[in-house]
Structure 1
Amino acid sequence: MKHSQGNSALRTSIPFTLTAIAASMISFSSIAAAEQLDTVTVTANRMASDNVLAATTVITRDDIERLQITDLSSLLSRQVGIDFTTNGGIGKTSSLFIRGTSSDHVLFLVDGVKWYSATSGGSAIQHFPVEQIERIEIVRGSRSGLYGSEAIGGVIQIFTRKGQQGMTPYAKVAYGTHASKQVAAGISGGNDTTKYNFSVNHQSTDGIDLGRDLNKDNDGYENTSFSANVEHDFTKNVTVGINITRAESDNEYDDFGTTNIMEGEATQQILGSHLSWNVNDIWTLSAQINESRDQSESFKNSSSDGIYNTRRRSMSVINTLSLNDSHIVNLGWDYENDHIASNATYAETSRDNKAVFISLQSQLDKASWLLSGRHDNNEAFGTHNTGTAEWGYQLHDNLQITANYGTAFKAPSFNSLYYPGGSGNPLVKPEESKSWGFGFNGVESNFDWAFNFYNTKIINLIEWAPISPGSWTYVPSNVASAEIKGVEFEINTTLFGADISADASFLSPEDSSNGTTLQRRAKRLANLHIDKQWNAWSAGASWKLRGQSFNKKNNIDPLGGFSIVDLRTAYKVNQDWLVQASINNLFDKEYQTVKGYNSLDRTAMLTLSYSPK
């Protein structure tokens, strides 16, 4: 994993000073470490750039294969600054928190397409197949000034597999604990002008007993997906591409305190098309036309118990102007239409959002900065203006200081606004935030590190509240606020031939009204990954720490902290064949991130992969 600008942390209450931190950083300079190369990302600045000031993590396909993680929720939860809760094992409802913000304060993109449910307001990350992923970019911190709603805590963009020169088939089979199975296959190829990738994947598991009902049975999961991506260069200046990713899943879950048999079926689909036109030496025109779908249906004792479908159609046009070697301007326009369909009757089923934005990325001598501003006009709640300002200064060749400020918002979901039966509130307003922070980061010839401090204040948080004083009728209302302070520290190095990456986060996610900890947020997070290769063999270990959290508001129902250890190994039989084995939760730690829902025990997986070189 590469970090364009990293993080880890020190608890704000512990007696560490910046001087002590700097001293510890200097002590690492004598450690041999992995060579750090400039990483080009597109998510942080909404343009391709190797000069990114925001805290950014990149996960490559090689990282995914090395870690041997088969579900997206687990993969993301092992990254700096990210907390994670789950209602059980693979495929169960999951929530992801970046820097202590809410799970619906994270904007998810798939190949540039916004992906979420307009009814719930969140993204069903538990259903997205890791096997279809080529690369992930994680940007921590406010990004509404470029992307609009959702990006209070950050942006996570998934890039699906792309084509490459030649023609390469690939395949994988795996079997593990709880009758977990995976079969995957694909083909990637192309020539000088056309590239393509087609892949399919099927996963299933018998699962575990989640522990919430009276049946005492295992709750299984099944997911089948395919992905296709084709890109063609019509000329050396014009490129057009289309892509589709679709995942269909079947999930068993528990109904608290009953013997009901509960199942859920879900479909996630992202369909996209894009155009890139280098008009001249300074002007590049990019355009996208996309559609995403999030469809779900629940069943109780084999009878339909609820249908919620979201369809989002979107268009965007971005003009990138490279004024000179020091200044790049982005001028963009976005259009989105959300439409929902359900067996429940919503007061409104559609809404439009139109937006324009502008950004300036500059670098003069040792200073660099990014300025962005965006204006959104939504037919449900009116207009909203957001912006971002980031600054960096190269103190010397291997040390940079950064500072940032940003405003952001989260549009209320259809459920918050219009849920049937009087449970919606059409007067609810967007949630709003202001964030600021500073950091240091450095790159030596053999290792890189970063330290960041951040502060985020959020107002108009939507929670259930009485419709009037003394009323027994509750509706979503803008009644809460929060302040989140945190520090993050991370380092990537090589020691005695082993690749090592470590990060730690200490944060204070507080309810501003009473100083209690926000629901299900841990104050301490840490990760350690160690991997080493010996000729055809490789082996690795990961350690994850999550501190105590509270299942409910006002510090009610504490959930104990925990740490887990994963082991992995791989043997390259020859140039084409690879055998892998992994053991997760090595010491069989029992823990819960949501009260009443068991987490996976010790599990093992054996994988055979074929990819001719």
Structure 2
Amino acid sequence: MSKKFYFILIALLVFVNIPLFCTNIFAAELRDSLFTLEEIVVIASKYPQELLTSMASVEIINRKDIEISKSENLSGIIKNIAGLEITDYGSPGDIKSVSIRGSSPEQVLIMIDGQVVNDPQTGKIDLGLIPVSMIEKIEIYRGPASSLYGANALGGVINIITRSGREEKKGTVGAYFGNYHTQKYQAFYQNRSNDLNYFFSGEYYQTEGDRENSTLDKISLMGKISKEIDQKTDLDLSIRYHDYQRGIPGSLYYPTPNAQQNDKNINLNLKWQKREENKDINIMAWYDFHRLYYDNPDAWGHTGPSIHKTHTTGLSFDSTHYSFSFDDDNTESGHTLTWGGDLKYHWLDSTDIGNRQDLNGAVFIQDVWQPAELEKLSITAGLRYDYHQIFGGQFNPRVGISYRLQDELSFYASVGRAYRAPTYDDLYWPEDGYVGGNPDLLPEIAWAYEAGIRFMNEEGDIQAELNVFRKNVNDLINWAPDSEEVWRPSNIGSAQIDGVEVVLKKEFNEHFIGNLNYTYLNALDLDTGNQLKPKHKYGFGLAYSNQFGESKDDFTMGLNGYIVAGRPNNLNNYYLFDVNMDRDFTVNKEKDRKIKLSFSVKNLFNQRPELVSGHPIQGRTFLLGISADF
């Protein structure tokens, strides 16, 4: 394996004939061939806002970043980001989830095009179920955001923006092959015709993995059609379908060589958007169906498979008024008012916990005020009220400021309340003498405080950020033996989480861009004094780009990785590094049609750390592929 791997790597480098560091042809436009440091964010306030004026810490990952990462799922794209920790059970088909600033995965809200996709049964989502091929952009909000987004935004929010057909007519097909009998086939097509544009994508992926019963076989399909009703109004319809068949190998101590899981998901989303000079309006309706089938015939007391069918229907509305005035005579008030609400209905049909359903509603309002006499100051105040059919209402306020110290430097600070709702599993898990749910659970409550300094120079090629934060969490839901030795959840936990994040991004020249980040986290269980999360994380990335020949064909190469140290429970420190390469060859210059060769190596040094005890991650993998435009 080792000799074969290095032979393929050397052969590829010779084939594409790339002088990485001594080039005589320069890139025409850096921002066309590499990445840009994003200045505009939406997730922090529900409307487009300059990053330097936001009162939140936000990370943006664009399509170019996603393409060069060569990741197979969302977890691979975001694993190097400051403040984030990936929980990975190791094998290709095993569960992958994310923590933000010391949260649990259930305390992180995941959205696709603004629609919440957290599973009401478990409270989280398997990041492996989100295919990379459909993603255009990712916005990550570090810190509690329940004042805007409601339940489960206690740790942070991740919004995935899917691709669309708003660009010129283009299609691409690709085939990729790697070790562990891995094969992947992708295709997408986009077009724009007058007031109609559309995007379709499909992906098939199969691998045997490196452990017994670690196979993964998945199909992902997506279609999006957008209709321009008039110059100010759009209507978008998207459909997603996923089918994932996977082996669940279990831990090294308790292997499950015959356990199988199948996930099927269908999602329909309809969005109406209106953009006026001083007002934006968004209305969205959706339906989501998820079927999970799990069977381990070797389990003690096995009586058959577990089947869970979850239906979610939702409706949301929000409106942003720019230059809003509380005084009709004052048209230059400096207020930006955002308000709205949503309604969600969940219905679960489960062989384990029966039929469960709930109806939840919410309203919110937020005002961002820039006083005329203090134009460098921005004050934000927001409040959201959620009513949950099972455990009642929750008020979640947040206030903050952002101050422009200089044109390129800003300071922000905020304080807010957030919460996490108990899941169906927490509430209703069936009694069997060993484990059982607790229908009397209350939501987890957190108060969070943070401040930071951000720098972005005028040229946009340097971006730096320093954040400090504290979060006090009460009524944590802990599963532990009760007086009758039955494992049951209860609101007995409390935690204090303090941390520091340092982020630096730099475009060195027209070919190189790099980033460094460091996260310090002191997450303590206040009842036991135990450390809950790793204390140190170091992340880095370096990307190279150049253009060759008259057609200015792109070559890109990326090296990225991260180191985790100071882990709790005597778990070993670890490091993971990846290398990715792309090389374009123009076949039709007039139509801008290209063939692309790509090569990636994940886990470059073949490490086998256990991110979860007893579940080592997969060893070194490589993937070699070719794609062609049509």
**TMscore range, shorter length:** 0.7 to 0.9
Structure 2 unmatched runs, 5+:
1-29, 325-330, 549-554, 587-592
Question: Paired residue for 1:434, among 447, 471, 475?
Answer: 447
Structure 2 partner of 1:213? none
Question: Paired residue for 1:539, among 553, 557, 580?
Answer: 557
Structure 2 partner of 1:491? 504
* Alpha-carbon distance in 1 for matches of 2:149, 2:508: 40
Going from structure 1 to structure 2, the CA distance change for 1:472 and 1:304 (only over 3 Å counts) comes to: closer
Out of 575-584 and 139-148, give the one that drifted further. Answer: 575-584
**Contact between 1:80 and 1:488, CA under 8 Å: does it hold in 2?**
yes
Structure 1 partner of 2:140? 138
- The Cα offsets for residues 39-82 of structure 1, whole Å up to 9 and x where unpaired, read as 33222212232343311111111111112222211212121211
Question: Paired residue for 2:494, among 481, 487, 507?
Answer: 481
**Contact between 1:174 and 1:607, CA under 8 Å: does it hold in 2?**
yes
Question: Paired residue for 1:589, among 604, 607, 626?
Answer: 607
**Is 1:421–2:418 an aligned residue pair?**
no
* Alpha-carbon distance in 2 for matches of 1:255, 1:532: 39
* Alpha-carbon distance in 2 for matches of 1:138, 1:258: 35
Structure 2 partner of 1:310? 310
Larger relative contact order (CA 8 Å, sep ≥ 6): 1
Letter in 1 for 2:560: S
Out of 365-374 and 540-549, give the one that drifted further. Answer: 540-549
Alignment of 1:305-344 (within 5 A): 305-322=305-322, 323=324, 326-344=334-352
* Alpha-carbon distance in 1 for matches of 2:567, 2:167: 49
State the SS of the aligned residue for 1:319.
Answer: strand
**Contact between 2:68 and 2:556, CA under 8 Å: does it hold in 1?**
no
* Alpha-carbon distance in 1 for matches of 2:81, 2:481: 38
Alignment of 1:313-462 (within 5 A): 313-322=313-322, 323=324, 326-346=334-354, 349-364=356-371, 365-421=375-431, 423-444=436-457, 445=459, 446-462=461-477
**Contact between 1:171 and 1:186, CA under 8 Å: does it hold in 2?**
yes
Letter in 1 for 2:453: F
**Is 1:90–2:85 an aligned residue pair?**
no
Letter in 1 for 2:527: S
**Contact between 1:298 and 1:304, CA under 8 Å: does it hold in 2?**
no
Alignment of 1:23-102 (within 5 A): 39-50=39-50, 51-102=53-104
**Contact between 2:222 and 2:240, CA under 8 Å: does it hold in 1?**
yes
**Contact between 1:127 and 1:223, CA under 8 Å: does it hold in 2?**
no
Out of 251-260 and 177-186, give the one that drifted further. Answer: 251-260
**Contact between 2:153 and 2:419, CA under 8 Å: does it hold in 1?**
yes
- The Cα offsets for residues 157-193 of structure 1, whole Å up to 9 and x where unpaired, read as 1111111243211122111111111101011111341
Going from structure 1 to structure 2, the CA distance change for 1:509 and 1:345 (only over 3 Å counts) comes to: closer
Structure 2 partner of 1:21? none
* Alpha-carbon distance in 1 for matches of 2:564, 2:353: 41
**Contact between 2:536 and 2:564, CA under 8 Å: does it hold in 1?**
yes
Going from structure 1 to structure 2, the CA distance change for 1:512 and 1:384 (only over 3 Å counts) comes to: same
Going from structure 1 to structure 2, the CA distance change for 1:258 and 1:171 (only over 3 Å counts) comes to: closer
State the SS of the aligned residue for 1:207.
Answer: coil
Question: Paired residue for 2:122, among 100, 120, 123?
Answer: 120
**Contact between 1:287 and 1:315, CA under 8 Å: does it hold in 2?**
yes
**Contact between 1:116 and 1:294, CA under 8 Å: does it hold in 2?**
no
Structure 1 partner of 2:521? 507
**Contact between 1:142 and 1:388, CA under 8 Å: does it hold in 2?**
no
**Contact between 2:174 and 2:627, CA under 8 Å: does it hold in 1?**
yes
**Contact between 1:113 and 1:292, CA under 8 Å: does it hold in 2?**
no
Going from structure 1 to structure 2, the CA distance change for 1:449 and 1:36 (only over 3 Å counts) comes to: farther
**Contact between 1:351 and 1:378, CA under 8 Å: does it hold in 2?**
yes
Give the drift of 1:429. 0.2
State the SS of the aligned residue for 1:424.
Answer: coil
Q: What is the root-mean-square deviation of aligned Cα atoms in Å?
A: 2.1
- The Cα offsets for residues 104-148 of structure 1, whole Å up to 9 and x where unpaired, read as 100000111110211111112111111111111111011100111
* Alpha-carbon distance in 2 for matches of 1:588, 1:581: 17
State the SS of the aligned residue for 1:183.
Answer: strand
Question: What TM-score, normalized to structure 2?
Answer: 0.86
Give the drift of 1:492. 0.8
Structure 1 partner of 2:110? 108
**Contact between 1:362 and 1:369, CA under 8 Å: does it hold in 2?**
yes
State the SS of the aligned residue for 1:464.
Answer: strand
**Is 1:291–2:309 an aligned residue pair?**
no
* Alpha-carbon distance in 1 for matches of 2:79, 2:344: 30
**Contact between 2:560 and 2:577, CA under 8 Å: does it hold in 1?**
yes
- The Cα offsets for residues 372-406 of structure 1, whole Å up to 9 and x where unpaired, read as 10011111001100022121111111211110111
Letter in 1 for 2:471: T
**Is 1:248–2:260 an aligned residue pair?**
no
Alignment of 1:142-157 (within 5 A): 142-157=144-159
* Alpha-carbon distance in 2 for matches of 1:406, 1:258: 43
Give the drift of 1:255. 4.4
Letter in 2 for 1:609: S
* Alpha-carbon distance in 2 for matches of 1:354, 1:610: 47
Out of 178-187 and 231-240, give the one that drifted further. Answer: 231-240
Question: Paired residue for 2:574, among 562, 573, 588?
Answer: 562
State the SS of the aligned residue for 1:178.
Answer: coil
**Contact between 2:580 and 2:600, CA under 8 Å: does it hold in 1?**
yes
Out of 294-303 and 419-428, give the one that drifted further. Answer: 294-303
**Is 1:517–2:523 an aligned residue pair?**
no
Structure 1 unmatched runs, 5+:
1-31, 210-216
Letter in 1 for 2:496: E
Going from structure 1 to structure 2, the CA distance change for 1:68 and 1:465 (only over 3 Å counts) comes to: closer
Structure 2 partner of 1:220? 215
* Alpha-carbon distance in 2 for matches of 1:399, 1:320: 26
Letter in 2 for 1:354: G
Letter in 1 for 2:235: V
Give the drift of 1:596. 1.2
Going from structure 1 to structure 2, the CA distance change for 1:568 and 1:384 (only over 3 Å counts) comes to: same
* Alpha-carbon distance in 1 for matches of 2:109, 2:93: 20
Going from structure 1 to structure 2, the CA distance change for 1:399 and 1:459 (only over 3 Å counts) comes to: same
Out of 447-456 and 158-167, give the one that drifted further. Answer: 158-167
Give the drift of 1:281. 4.1
State the SS of the aligned residue for 1:75.
Answer: helix
Going from structure 1 to structure 2, the CA distance change for 1:353 and 1:261 (only over 3 Å counts) comes to: same
Going from structure 1 to structure 2, the CA distance change for 1:466 and 1:591 (only over 3 Å counts) comes to: closer
* Alpha-carbon distance in 1 for matches of 2:57, 2:622: 33
Give the drift of 1:611. 3.1
- The Cα offsets for residues 173-227 of structure 1, whole Å up to 9 and x where unpaired, read as 1111111111010111113411110111111111011xxxxxxx25111110101
Give the drift of 1:495. 2.5
Question: Paired residue for 1:232, among 227, 238, 248?
Answer: 227
Out of 407-416 and 526-535, give the one that drifted further. Answer: 526-535
Give the drift of 1:97. 0.7
